[in-house]
Structure 1
Amino acid sequence: MALRIFLMRHGETEWSTSGQHTGRVDIPLTENGEREARRLGDRLAQTKFDHVLVSPLQRARHTCELAGCGERAEIEPDLIEWDNGDYAGQTHAEVFKQRPGWNLFRDGCPHGESPAEISARCDRLIGRLVTLDGNVALFSHSHFGRVLGVRWIGLPVQMGHHFILNTASRSVLCYQHDRIDDPVIESWNG
């Protein structure tokens, strides 16, 4: 069976609502985020997953559980969110006051991950994913998922700036005509 990767972003958190960079701060889902995760589970119910991988952070793990995939889930450390370093907890507006024109996907974060580091992490994960067959569920985060999407199709990490992932969204990465030399994005941010 051809590889199809279902990339799910976690449900809403207080900081996803306020626009704060969460990064690796391990905060829980809101009540609405839990509802979103259950609705995501309804959308996934007709899909049989051969592998389920989840970020170690609780917002992704809880989304996975509420979506009905928790029993089979394996923690995958490379699915953890982009390390926001000194910018964790700050909004874009707060960061722009210190650093006008800042762009995470181009500039990274002081004392956090650089674009080259997260790109290498995504490439390492992709290297393992392409050895799998069937439907693979990934429960992860916004910025990491955006980088994974662009790296899947061979674009540089900086292009992740142009791909939005809403909370509790589902995207599908696969191959055109099942050709492993032709990776594509089948759907995004659904």
Structure 2
Amino acid sequence: MGKSPTPRCIIVRHGQTEWSKSGQYTGLTDLPLTEFGVGQMKRTGESIFRNKFIDPSHITYIFTSPRTRARQTVDLILANLSQEQRAQIRVVVDEDLREWEYGDYEGLLTHEIVDLRKSHGLDQDRPWNIWRDGCENGETTEQFGLRLSRAIARIQSLHRKHQNEGVASDIMVFAHGHALRYFAGLWLRMGEEKPCDGQQPQPPTYQDETVPYVPLKTYRHLVDNPSFLLDAGGIGVLSYAHHNIEEPALALAGAFVCPPEEESQHGEIAE
């Protein structure tokens, strides 16, 4: 019996919206996909499954932001699967995966935000960096990092469980531009680590009895741009080096996969 593939976390940014097209910051504003965005995600779903980039039988969970644009993208991707295949995949709506709450910057363009901050006497010594400075009357980078750290801990806990059981496990995460780039940075342990100091939400931000709640002692937050790009409708792949859940890594080959026995990563599956 061959070993199962290394678990993967497949991140998917929702398809095009009117504001992703214009460059306006879209946090809590609940926009649907454009007509182009709908077709975009239908084509993406057809491609990833037809070309075997993702084996539907390997998808154990889908975690999604509660926003319409993310949930609509999930539905369009899964529309390419049979009813039986879809029934095997648990879809979990998780508030921790919502986009950065931009506060006063909601709906603005970057140059408008820069001008607004200057009118408030900010950024006298250095230019605004959302990854470090956060948003006025919105979330700080520490608040954003804490909730994304919680989401990552749950996914990695499930991956550890599935790997110990010998179950192939691709977990897909559907969310937003800043959220997923930030998520990837934290997956790679960028930024700073801080104690949680009791900053755990009660109740949990999702409702699914099969997903264990993972209390955190520490969390990570970014202090600079992770320098990742992810356009609307884009897909990225996060995984683990040496089949080891304790070694989170970026899968530079993306969705392209080879049989586990042919992988060049030497090392045993972590127990």
TM-score bracket relative to the smaller structure: over 0.9
- Count matched residues: 190
Match of 1:143 in 2: 178
Match of 2:17 in 1: 13
Q: How does 1:1-190 map to 2 (within 5 A)?
A: 1=4, 2-45=6-49, 46=52, 47=54, 48=56, 49-68=59-78, 72=89, 73-99=91-117, 101-133=127-159, 134-156=169-191, 157-187=222-252
Task: Give the SS at the match of 1:162.
Answer: coil
Q: Measure, in 2, the Cα distance between the counterparts of 1:33 and 1:21.
A: 17
> Quick check: 85-94 or 150-159, which moved more?
150-159
Letter in 2 for 1:4: R
Task: Give the SS at the match of 2:246.
Answer: coil
Letter in 2 for 1:90: L
Counterparts in 2 of 1:187 and 1:36: CA distance versus 1, 3 Å: farther
> Quick check: 11-20 or 96-105, which moved more?
96-105
CA RMSD of aligned residues (A): 1.9
Counterparts in 2 of 1:187 and 1:65: CA distance versus 1, 3 Å: farther
* Structure 1 residue ranges without an equivalent (≥5): none
Letter in 2 for 1:167: A
Letter in 2 for 1:186: A
Q: Is the 8 A contact 1:6 1:171 kept in 2?
A: yes
Q: Measure, in 2, the Cα distance between the counterparts of 1:58 and 1:152.
A: 25
Identical counterparts, % of pairs = 34
Q: Is the 8 A contact 2:133 2:140 kept in 1?
A: yes
* Structure 2 residue ranges without an equivalent (≥5): 80-85, 119-126, 160-168, 192-221, 256-271
Q: Is the 8 A contact 2:185 2:226 kept in 1?
A: no
Q: Measure, in 1, the Cα distance between the counterparts of 2:20 and 2:151.
A: 25
TM-score (norm: length of structure 2): 0.66
Task: Tell me which protein shows more helix as a share of its residues.
Answer: 1
Q: Deviations over 1:108-127 (max 9, x none)?
A: 11111100111111111111
- State the structure with more CA Rg: 2
Q: Is the 8 A contact 1:3 1:130 kept in 2?
A: no
Counterparts in 2 of 1:167 and 1:189: CA distance versus 1, 3 Å: farther
Greater than 6 Å deviation, 4+ residue runs: none
Counterparts in 2 of 1:144 and 1:66: CA distance versus 1, 3 Å: same
